Amino acid sequence: MRNETSKKCPLYQWIPDSLSHEVREVIDRLAQTEDVQHIAIMPDVHLANEACIGTVIATESLLLPGAIGSDIGCGMAAIQLRAGEDLLKDPRNSDLMLKELRKKIPTMRHCRDNMIPVPEFPHQAHLSCLELDKSYERDGKLEFGTLGTGNHFLEIQVDEPGNLWLMVHSGSRGMGNFIRTHHLKSIRKTKTGFQVLDAKALEGRAFLQDVQWALLYAQANREAIIQAVCQIFLEFFGVETCPESYRDCHHNSVVQETHFGKDFWVHRKGAVRAHKGLPGIIPGSMGTASYLTIGRGCPEALCSSSHGAGRKLSRTEARRRISQNAFQKSMEHVWFERRFISKLLDEAPQAYKDIQAVMRAQKDLVKIETRLRPLLNSKGVI
């Protein structure tokens, strides 16, 4: 951990290597932005639009939509299966799983005849305007229970005792982006270039209302995907789950929390809440280990941890530098749809940081509870 107090606010970082000039420039601008009171940089930090992924910031009165990202509520869920690794050693079983996953969990949308009903959210959780309600009716209902593209995934993993686990990475799908785009209409730009809303103003309250809705939608989306995959295991293999093992965590959010005796709006973009005793999930790449964690509640980190390994190469750079042969060799121990190799080059393990180095860098933020090794990976491909 290193404290680099800027002219404006304390800045702490937990990083396995030095920051690039580009990342440093974005963080320096963020530190100079009005009302930013505290910044914590996670070990998976890397460039993104506006604020970097792997950044946690605290403000008192302003909201920064760019410090959350467009996939509001994106996160992870995991559950243990009552089965061992031998189940997937038979190639026929692995092929069947990939086929059924592709069929039951679409990448983008369900057809209207095969929609998964969206659960009723709490009465107080509803969208702030008719425009967003229409987006939900048109797109949100069809996208519910779908995976998405990019780094979203479904993975069957095994822990060190040999138990199978199911892990999913997905979020609020198109609804998060609809919400962000809608609220950009009423946003103002700071001198440092970051866009903000006043949390107490009508526009800020509406944004927070829609963020809360998106968090609930994203969590329910992951649960629906988990249930659909568990049904495949039950139907084809007679395998049940361990309900008590289920855990879920967001890594793109803004919530009000108390730190250092004061209330702040804590923005996490590619970062997980890691309050003391709180379960978390930190995935690696599609070819490396993932971790179930317990938060240590580190105050300087605003009780946060990384959300994954973090990109080492941009998508463009990964497609240019990583060969299909190198990618396939790094995935020899993982079952995946090799017909999509050319489309998945930007998700190759070589495109990501060393997850073990990332975990070492944040040993003060989380305790490792379980290490999971990937056996089968399914990604959304179009």
DSSP string, 57-118: EEESSEE-GGGT-SSTT-EEEEEEEEEEGGGGTSHHHHHHHHHHHHHHS-SS---GGGPPPP
Residue 326 lies in a domain: no
Average pLDDT over residues 19-47: 97
Residue 49 lies in a domain: yes
Q: What is the pLDDT of residues 136-151, one digit of tens each?
A: 999 999 999 999 999 9
Residue 286 lies in a domain: yes
Q: What is the pLDDT of residues 47-84, one digit of tens each?
A: 998 899 999 999 999 999 999 999 999 999 999 999 99
Q: Can you give the residue range of the structural domain that contains 91?
A: 2-312+352-379
Q: Is the pLDDT of residue 3 over 70?
A: no
Among all residues, which ones are annotated catalytic?
307
Q: Which residues contact 361 (CB under 8 A, 6 or more apart)?
A: 14, 15, 16, 43
The H-assigned helical ranges of 280-330 are: 315-321, 324-330
Residue 159 lies in a domain: yes
Residue 347 lies in a domain: no
Considering the entire predicted model, what is its pTM?
0.96
Average pLDDT over residues 6-19: 86
Distance CA 69, CA 72 (A): 6
Distance CA 45, CA 88 (A): 34
115 confidence band (pLDDT: 50, 70, 90) = confident
Q: What is the pLDDT of residues 320-354, one digit of tens each?
A: 999 999 999 999 999 999 999 999 999 999 999 99
Report phi then psi at 137, rounded to 5. Answer: -65, -40
33 confidence band (pLDDT: 50, 70, 90) = very high
- Count up the domains in the chain and report the number: 1
Residue 233 lies in a domain: yes
Residue 330 lies in a domain: no
Whichever domain contains 255, its CATH number is 3.90.1860.10
Residue 231 lies in a domain: yes
Q: What is the pLDDT of residues 265-287, one digit of tens each?
A: 999 999 999 999 999 999 999 99
